A and B are shown apart, each in its own frame.
Chain A
């Protein structure tokens, strides 16, 4: 079983911190409202526990998947509770369950995911690019398990980097996860000199 040292987890948390900081700035300019981020959680967890980082497995979420391609295989996943998706979409007068609403969420994923991925690429010197986002509304457990197992990789431990973004005055929050494949984490740490 792969485990990471505290030092490595701290480095990954810092990476997530800067990445989600950039994403928060992008969200802020998208919505024209200040956005706060929480201190990210970096945890390497057995798969069964990895889902619990983001909530109960049967809680429903809008899930926006932004696959990362290039030097590291990974995915950025945005998890947005329905009421928060309503708030986000209402800025543009849209319903998150409509086609236009889903398209708006896809664009949010695109903008936030891309700014996060760019920071990651700059800090590590890796060539990383976002693939087109995919949007679903489903159970949290089903979304995360499908992303973690998506490419059929046999993981023992999932590294989860989780940050919360909160839009001020709108009580809108979303969970921002980076899920690297196991080889990707090694590469990431090597690039950071760890």
Chain B
């Protein structure tokens, strides 16, 4: 997956592309979630680097928060020509690398994954694959050409998380 231009979604950012030569990436995801929305038929993909479940009551949700980032990413891929019913969602990240004693509640990584799932469900988008949880950070890459998603943990090798030739897909 080395060819093409790599577009990085940094913390709180999203990138989208309809250029088959492009690769979208979230590098060094810890408790954050990398969410890919992919329409392989239209050769469109988007990737958001989500940091928190939701904005606090007094704040405005933005790209950092799942409740804003998920609908915003959907809108952006639709604008590039993706068709809603063909969109595949893939999640990576949400690790708990440290335990924070004062936190008391559930870890941010797990809450992030849960929030992204909830937002996807609201939009009737279905996760097709995911690598979330655990204690290791991950880097994920999405190839726009065919929607192939891979991830890698620190010191590990690249794992293919999502890849199905368009022609072989069966209606669910």
Known: A67-B101, A152-B103. A145 touches B155 (CB 8 A): no
Q: Are B52 and A154 in contact (CB under 8 A)?
A: yes
Known: A139-B139, A145-B51. A152 touches B108 (CB 8 A): yes
Q: Are A150 and B100 in contact (CB under 8 A)?
A: yes
Q: Are A142 and B154 in contact (CB under 8 A)?
A: yes
Known: A48-B11, A60-B155, A142-B95. A149 touches B28 (CB 8 A): no
List 10 A-B pairs, Cβ < 8 Å. A47-B64, A63-B97, A136-B98, A139-B27, A143-B97, A145-B51, A146-B98, A149-B52, A150-B103, A151-B100
- List B residues 96-136 near A (Cβ within 8 Å): 96-103, 108-109, 111, 135-136
Please tell me if B46 contacts chain A, counting CB pairs below 8 Å. no
Q: Is the interface of A mostly helix, strand, loop or mixed?
A: mixed
CB distance from A76 to the nearest CB of B (A): 13
Known: A57-B27, A154-B52. A149 touches B32 (CB 8 A): yes
Contact of A138 among B10, B27, B137 (CB under 8 A): B137
Known: A139-B154, A142-B97, A154-B59. A47 touches B12 (CB 8 A): yes
Interface residues of B (CB under 8 A from A): 10-13, 27-32, 51-53, 55-56, 59, 64-65, 95-103, 108-109, 111, 135-139, 154-155
Known: A58-B139, A154-B52. A134 touches B98 (CB 8 A): yes
User: Inside 8 A of B52's CB, which chain A residues have their CB?
Assistant: 149, 152, 154
Instruction: Contacts A69-B101, A143-B30, A151-B108 known; list 19 others, CB within 8 Å.
Output: A47-B12, A51-B28, A57-B27, A58-B27, A58-B139, A65-B98, A136-B97, A138-B30, A139-B139, A139-B154, A141-B28, A141-B29, A142-B29, A142-B136, A145-B30, A145-B32, A146-B98, A149-B30, A151-B102
Please tell me if A147 contacts chain B, counting CB pairs below 8 Å. yes
Complex Cα gap A137–B12 (Å): 24
CB distance from B66 to the nearest CB of A (A): 12
Please tell me if A73 contacts chain B, counting CB pairs below 8 Å. yes
Q: Are A48 and B139 in contact (CB under 8 A)?
A: no
CB distance from B132 to the nearest CB of A (A): 13
Q: Is the interface of B mostly helix, strand, loop or mixed?
A: loop
Q: Are B103 and A147 in contact (CB under 8 A)?
A: no
User: Inside 8 A of A145's CB, which chain B residues have their CB?
Assistant: 11, 28-32, 51
Contact with B along A117-153 (1 / 0, CB 8 A): 0000000000000010010111111111111011110
Complex Cα gap A139–B30 (Å): 8
Complex Cα gap A76–B157 (Å): 30
Whose C-beta in chain A lies nearest to the C-beta of B32?
A145
For the complex, count residues of A whose C-beta is within 8 A of B. 31
User: Inside 8 A of A140's CB, which chain B residues have their CB?
Assistant: 28
Q: Are B30 and A142 in contact (CB under 8 A)?
A: yes
User: Inside 8 A of A73's CB, which chain B residues have their CB?
Assistant: 102
- 5 closest Cβ contacts across the A-B interface? A141-B28, A142-B137, A146-B30, A142-B30, A57-B28
Q: Are A47 and B100 in contact (CB under 8 A)?
A: no
- List A residues 96-133 near B (Cβ within 8 Å): 131
User: Inside 8 A of A63's CB, which chain B residues have their CB?
Assistant: 97
User: Inside 8 A of B103's CB, which chain A residues have their CB?
Assistant: 150-152
Complex Cα gap A69–B137 (Å): 25
Q: Which of A65, A137, A143, A146 has the most CB of B within 10 A?
A: A146
Q: Are B139 and A137 in contact (CB under 8 A)?
A: no
User: Inside 8 A of B139's CB, which chain A residues have their CB?
Assistant: 58, 139
